[in-house]
Amino acid sequence: MTAGTAGAAHTQRIREFKMPDVGEGLTEAEILKWYVKAGDTVADGQVVCEVETAKAAVELPIPYDGVVHALHFDEGTTVDVGTVIIAVDTDPGAGPVGEALGEAAAPAEEDDAEPQGRQAVLVGYGAAPSSTKRRARKQQPGVPAQSEPVTAGLQAELNGHSAPAPAATPAAVPVAPAAPAAVVPVAERPLAKPPVRKLAKDLGIDLATVVPTGPGGVVTRDDVYAAAAPAEAAAPAAPEVAVPTAVAPVAAFDAARERRVPVKGVRKATAQAMVASAFTAPHVTEFITVDVTRTMKLVQELKQDPDLAGLRVNPLLLVAKAFLVAIKRHPEVNAAWDEATQEIVYKDYVNLGIAAATPRGLLVPNIKDAGAKTLPQLASELGELVATAREGKTSPAAMSGGTVTITNVGVFGVDTGTPILNPGESAILAVGAIKLQPWVHKGKVKPRQVTTLALSFDHRLIDGELGSKLLADIAAILERPKRLITWG
């Protein structure tokens, strides 16, 4: 068996599984748990690990039959999409993997030393190792052959790396013409991923001045921070004139009594989304306190209804239905702002988001086409949505495309709040705690079930009048729930 044949057989036998894009163009995922280890037998479709993206936890099935050859990353490691995470031996009965190549592998390794020294990277961030070897070009008569350093320099320039320093050559060897000059601009562009380029731009760092330490000469985040550190240290030395200014207090840390937890996954995505929303959409929040005694009585009656047997019936269900009916009466509130085209996009469907607190952070899955569902259908999907979110099994698709959201802060005993819009949505309704309070009812002060609603909306889409009418309608329905029939 030749070296090439042995290498091909080895490639076909050892199948590598890369971190997939599990939803909506996410660029990385954290490996939460491995369900297999090296030496375990796996089958096509078997779940081998659980990963967490910026949106949810997802289980990954392996597409091969065989025996686990190697796990390339430990639990808790964040891996870029497209990176190999596990290798599977698809023909374990053929003997040890090392024997598949035979003695012919030795010269192949020697010949391909340079490609094997380079690591596979994502498309656009460097050159991937070649799977084949070029034949030596036949030298033409009368044409001097290129020296090895010149050839290596050309290849390095084309791959985006700096050319190696040329070795001393005898005077008799002709000097090659300056052909590589045409590809110098390619080498001058530093290699870095888009997030790293954005970080450098935010910090005012020129990537061309940063010393790369990543595989294949790729600039990493740490490289950018290292380049920024000297600049920050030198900055205070610039002003020489003493000007009386207020000195900002320096944060003090007591490492012995403090804990640091890296922000990643769902919590990191939520933090970034909330900052973007708070400083992009002009928020307006309005409040209303309402007597929901009749709604609470209706909840108790619906729990005894055979048509809703086995379904989760609670005040949130009727609040959701009231919100949907109010949106039907004021469809202009169901919209989105398109920054690129400076247009308002009105939507003829309502994807109702429900904010759910989970151990991994706040998730906001939504019920698709919620406005077209009956009360039993809404109750079924609401119960399933909340249960799935608390288990951390919500899919990225279930959290995309929301138009409005409900957040129930009342379950924590909170009266109300000023909720921040989910990015891309027009409104969010906060439901406060329902409590017995003195209330004027039919001319007399009586104890009634009372709650406070808070509606935040995007003032680019919804003006004060429209927002007020929407909130007033929600309150009116909850005060007299028979309006679900007359208005619905």
Q: Mind telling me the catalytic residues?
A: 459
Residue with tokens 């796990």: 71
What does the alpha-carbon distance between residue 483 and residue 488 come to, in Å, rounded to a whole number?
Answer: 7
β-strand partners of 357: 362
Do residues 114 and 134 lie in contact, with contact meaning Cβ atoms separated by under 8 Å?
no
**φ, ψ at 223 (rounded to 5°):** -65, -40
Per residue, the 3-state secondary structure of the chain, as one string, reads CCHHHHHHHHHHHEEEEECCCCCCCCCEEEEEEECCCCCCEECCCCEEEEEECCCCEEEEECCCCEEEEEECCCCCCEEECCCEEEEEECCHHHCCHHHHCCCCHHHHHHHCHHHHHCCCCCCCCCCCCCCCCCCCCCCCCCCCCCCHHHHHHHHHHHCCCCCCCCCCCCCCCCCCCCHHHHHHHHHHCCEECHHHHHHHHHHCCCHHHCCCCCHHHEECHHHHHHHHHHHHHHHHHCCCCCCCCCCCCCCCCCHHHCCCCCCCHHHHHHHHHHHHHHCCCCEEEEEEEEECHHHHHHHHHHHCCHHHCCCCCCHHHHHHHHHHHHHHHCHHHCEEEECCCCEEEECCCCCEEECEEECCEEECCEECCHHHCCHHHHHHHHHHHHHHHHCCCCCHHHHCCCCEEEEEHHHHCCCCCCCCCCCCCCEEEEECCCEEEEEEECCEEEEEEEEEEEEEEECCCCCHHHHHHHHHHHHHHHHCCCHHHHCC
Do residues 437 and 278 lie in contact, with contact meaning Cβ atoms separated by under 8 Å?
no
Name residues whose C-beta falls within 8 Å of residue 377's C-beta, 6 or more positions apart in sequence.
none
- Residue at 215: amino acid letter: P
